Every structure is written in C-alpha cells, then in structure tokens.
Structure 1
C-alpha cells in the first residue's frame, strides 16, 4: 500500500517485542484478542480517513482531533483510551529542527494508532525495533518509549543551541563584529520556536504519568515522569538560552556603540584641530588684492610654520583639558 493512500505501516504485535506486518486489508480484518495492533497512518491519505471514520470504532470527536491540520500538544482520556498529540524536532533533510513535527496517537489496551504527515524519526526507531523483535510489547511501553525518544532528540538540539550560545558569547568579547548580530538573532529565533511547543508539551508530559488508564503500569508511569522532568529541564534551558542571547545582544550593541563613539570622538578632535587651520588657509586663498606676503618669497614658509605652531598649541590645549 503506497504511503499517499494513508497506510505507512502496520504490525500485529506478538507481546514479546516483535510483530507481524499487515497491509490495509489485514488492518481491517484485525480483531481484539489477536494481539495488540499498531497502525501508523498519514492522516491526509484516503485509506487513513476511511479507516478512521468507518472501521476504527473511534468517537468522531477523537477522529477530528487526530486529523486536525493545526495542533498543539495535548492529552485526553476518553473511555478506556488515551488521545495524545506531541511534537518532535524536525530532523528531516533540509528542514529546520525548530519546525517541530506533530505526532498524534490513540492508545488503548489493544491498539496503538499513530498519525503524522511529515516523517518522525522516533517512530522510525520504534518500527525498526519491532522489526528486529526488540520493540515495545504493549501500548503503555510504546507510550513511554515514544516520549523518551522524542525528548532524547530534543536534548541533542538544545545542547547544540547551548554550545552555539557559548561560542557567540566568546566571539562578542574577542571579535565584536556586526556580523554576529544575525547569528544571535538566529539563536533567539530557534529558542523561541522550540519553546512554543515544548512549554505546552511539558504540561502534557506531566499529565501522562497520572492519567487514569488501566494499561499503564507503575514502571511505565515512572518512566513517563522522568521524561516529564527532562522536558521541564529543557524548557528552563531554553529560557536560559534566550536570556543569555539577549544579554549577548546587549553586550554586542554596547561594544559597537562604544567603538562608534570612539571613532566619532577622534574625528571630532581632528576636525577641531583643522578647523582654525582651514579658516586661515581659506582666508589667504581668496583671489583679491591686499593679501599679505604676496611679494615676500619667504611668506609661504613662514605661514606653514605658523600653521604647525598653531596646531601644536591646539594639541597642547586639548591635552591640558584631557580631551585627548
């Protein structure tokens, strides 16, 4: 079955970490008691929509929530099942990690239904683990594994962002170039974009381990609580990165302004020295009668010496007044 029809893959789990691959006909023929079903769908595909509407047995409101175009992280217990929407960093080729991809899922005692439109690396990891016989054996284990893998990839991105911030802080002290402004702005943009989804996802993770569903055992709840703690820590790290980037930006602006002020001060000193000299040369350069020294062959040399002496006096006065 091609991916654009909706079904990406499906497994009938054997309860020991492995599973038997199914096509869409196999998914439709599956019945509870045959082993937990994991079906992974592209929610924009025709077969996915048809199965969700007509064969999944899900409440229409749950189907609507799972296939919504715009989503934010959330969780909801409905009857004996759990609806969840989480976000993972976008590690697809050519994509920006902060453009986080949504993964939607419905879990109950017998089924795992996951939906996405763009590829999720954490789901690929779990698929490979099932194919190798080392995957989750039950829905509760699947949820804890998925949450852990999503957060693990976020950790990598935030660590790289933190390293970039450290480098920018060092470059501001050493280099102070205006080109750093764009790099600092990029760090702040990425941190803001990541926090936009991680902040509500932190709340979702904090609720998952307390949801009242029978198929989550104590070990899985403890693992979900650990994931929630890590997510909270990452949100705090993003806040710290934003603050550090803001401080770095202010430091850069201050240093650039200081350097510009120093340059303008030097130009002002030079202009102050040459202003009276220019006035004198301008007066003697007008082409009218009565200019003194026109008949004296030493007049130009004497005038140059006077200009140098005047400049020296100005420099002495500026130094006395601590202007230079």
Structure 2
C-alpha cells in the first residue's frame, strides 16, 4: 500500500522559495525524443527522432505538430521552448509533472495540461502538456506510449477532417483522444468488480476481497478527480474568447465535454458499486457468523437439559442412608432409563427447533 501511494503522489522537485520559471528536470526521466508532423489538405510529412535545430520552421501553409516524449534534458527542453516562444512559467509546469489539469491563456498561444492513463494496474496518470498556437501544436509527454496512434493514422488520410482544418482542430483531436482513453480503463475496473462480486458471497472470500475493493475505490476516486478537472478544462476552452479556436472546433469540444460528464457519472457509479460490494461482503460475513453461532447455540441448548439430568443422577447421595436418596439408582433399569430420558429430551428439542424453522429451513440451505 505504501509503494502504491508513493507512485501516485508525485513530489515537487523545486524547493520552497525557488524562483518562478526555474527548470528542474527529473534525473530518472528519459531524454527527450522529438517527432514532427507537417500537413495540409494535400501533403503530410513526418520526421522522427530529430534534434531541436532540425524542427522545420513554422508556416501559414501547413500545420505543424511537434510531439516531445521525455523530460530528462533541460537544455533540449529549453531549446524547444525557445523555438516556440514558450513562457518560462508554462515551461516550469511542463517539467513539474504534478500539475492539475488546467487551461492557461498567453498572448499568442494556449496552454492545456491533461492527465493520460497508462496500462499499469493502478491509476497512474501521465501528464500531457499541449500548446496551441496559430499554426502549430506542441505536445509534451513524460514517457513513451500514448493514445495518439489513431490520430497519426488519420493524418495519413486526405479524407479525414483533421487534415482539412487547422491546428486548433488537431488540438481538439488530441484532447478527445486523451479523454476517450479513460473508457478502456473504466471497462477494466468494471471487469475487476465483476470478478470480485463473484467472490464476495463465496464461502472462501477472505480479507483480500476488502483490500481489493479498497484499492479499486481509491483508484476510482483518483480517476474521477482527474476527469472532473478535465471537464473544467474543456468548458474553459469552450468559453474562452480566442481567435485560435474556430467555431468548428468549439462545436466538437461540446462532444468532448459530454464525454467528460459521462466519465464522471460512470466513475461515481463504479465507486458506488465498490461501496455496495463492501456492504454485501460484510453482510455475507455476518450471515456466516450468525449461522455458526446458531449451530453452536442449538448444540449448547440441547446439552443443557442433558447436563442437568446427568448432574442430577450423578450426585453421590447414598440410598443406604435414606430411602429418599435417589431410589432410581437402585432400580434394575435405572441407567437405560436415564439414557432414554436424555435421548427423548434431545429429540423433542430438535423437533421443536425444526417446527420453529431454526434448523433445516430453506433459508439456511441457501446461505453460503
């Protein structure tokens, strides 16, 4: 659990009092790798693994998408930022990957921070920074592996809308891809909850069920918090008055906003399912405990009169001292009579319990 929390909580690398705009990179982060797409209606060019100096110049005739993977080299990061005139405060937020999803507006570009899920078993969300300029989109990722491959494939087709519109539509497509990447994560957690539901009412369900439900509920809370912030980001984009966003893009952002609302509702529903499963597990444990206690109580209740009979006739009063001292002990059939009496009492009590439905009932048979 402690390792899980350490992976989810990202510490700040800058010390308190550090000057704003200071770039402090993570020594364990991979070095930056730069990929570039340049496209318009008719052509598309792609360059992979280039240096900052090899980034093609911006042009009004084409849209440029520069995707940077890795934040492990401050000099490369600053060189890229100089090419696109990125503000120091925004660049500081790029390398400090604990940022909450947000949207910031600068004089000539928009800066958007989003969280992207990965394929790990916990809700470890990678920070993705998106800069939208007049004819370019600049994206930064922490590590290799993203949800942008469908967009790269769409850029190869002339018939796709992303080829027919400007940089703002490409930024919308990237944001939409990140938001939609939460749906497979939600499906994966739903499958885990279905598997746990089958275990909850089984007789061998142990404390591991509670641990699993607690972990899933914690992950869902993290994912819900992130999608809620994404909803605010998309709404801020829709309400911003900036010439960088066209009416076509704003129209499509409404669809992204609907997806964020749907995700929030689905994550809340999944969290409620976790709570319901926890209550179901505690109820099942309580029922099994009650069944055990009922059996033990019935056994103890049956042996109470039997113990009384055995104790009564086990008293050592001598018949020779007085004819009133247990004459049954001198009887030829005294011992068989005591056994028959105790058996009759036990049978009568079992019959009484059965008629009252305390044993042998259908409800008892259905319990796990």
Query: Do they superpose with TM above 0.5?
Result: yes
Distance 2:356 2:63 in 1: 88
1:10 aligned partner: 36
State the Cα distance separating 1:309 from its structure 2 match: 2.6
1:80–1:213 CA contact under 8 A, matched in 2: no
Per the TM alignment, residue 140 of structure 1 is displaced from its structure 2 partner at its CA by: 0.8
What is the CA–CA distance in structure 2 between the aligned matches of 1:120 and 1:43, rounded to whole Å?
14
Match of 2:230 among 174, 187, 201: 201
**1:258 pairs with 287, 294, 306, which one?**
287
> In the superposition, relative to structure 1, how do residues 177 and 237 fare at CA in structure 2: closer, same or farther (>3 Å)?
farther
CA, structure 1 residues 323+240, in 2 after alignment: closer, same or farther (shift >3 Å)?
Answer: closer
Preserved contact between residue 224 and residue 264 of structure 2 (Cα < 8 Å): yes
Distance 2:33 2:299 in 1: 76
Q: Does 1:21 align with 2:47?
A: yes
Do the aligned partners of residues 283 and 264 (structure 1) sit closer, same or farther apart at CA in structure 2, a change above 3 Å counting?
Answer: same
CA RMSD of aligned residues (A): 3.4
TM-score, normalised to structure 2, is 0.72
Cα separation, partners in 2 of 1:78 and 1:176, compared to 1, 3 Å: farther
Distance 1:276 1:75, change over 3 A: same
| 3-state SS in 2 of match to 1:203 | helix
Residue 142 of structure 2 is matched in structure 1 by 117
Checking the alignment, whether the CA contact within 8 Å between 1:38 and 1:111 is kept in structure 2 is: yes
Displacement of 1:100 after TM fit? 1.9
Matches within 5 A, 1:23-62: 23-27=50-54, 30-33=57-60, 35-41=62-68, 42-52=70-80, 54-62=82-90
For residue 204 of structure 1, give the secondary structure of its aligned residue in structure 2.
helix
How much has 1:232 moved relative to structure 2?
A: 0.7
Q: Which residue of 2 aligns with 1:87?
A: 115
Work out the CA distance in 1 between the residues paired with 2:37 and 2:78: 19
| Residue 139 in structure 1 maps to residue 167 in structure 2 | yes
Instruction: Summarize the Cα distance change of 1:190–1:218 in structure 2 as closer, same or farther, 3 Å threshold.
Output: same
More RCO (CA 8 Å, sep 6+)? 1
Out of 104, 107, 132, the residue aligned to residue 76 of structure 1 is: 104
User: Aligned equivalents of 1:147 and 1:53: distance in 2?
Assistant: 21
Structure 1: state its 5+ residue gaps.
none
What is the CA-CA distance between 1:217 and the residue it aligns to?
Answer: 1.6
Partner of 1:309: 344
How much does 1:109 deviate?
0.6
Contact 2:35–2:46 (CA under 8 A) maintained in structure 1: no
Gaps of 5+ in 2: 1-28, 320-325, 360-368
Secondary structure at the residue paired with 1:5? coil
Contact preservation (8 Å) 2:101, 2:230: yes
Indicate the residue corresponding to 1:153 in structure 2.
181
Q: How has the CA–CA distance of structure 1 residues 31 and 240 changed in structure 2, closer, same or farther, with 3 Å as cutoff? A: closer
Counterpart for residue 192 of structure 1: 221
- Give the SS at the match of 2:37: strand
Aligned length: 317
- Report the alpha carbon displacement of residue 200 of structure 1 after superposing the two structures with TM: 0.7
Q: How does 1:235-274 map to 2 (within 5 A)?
A: 235-274=264-303
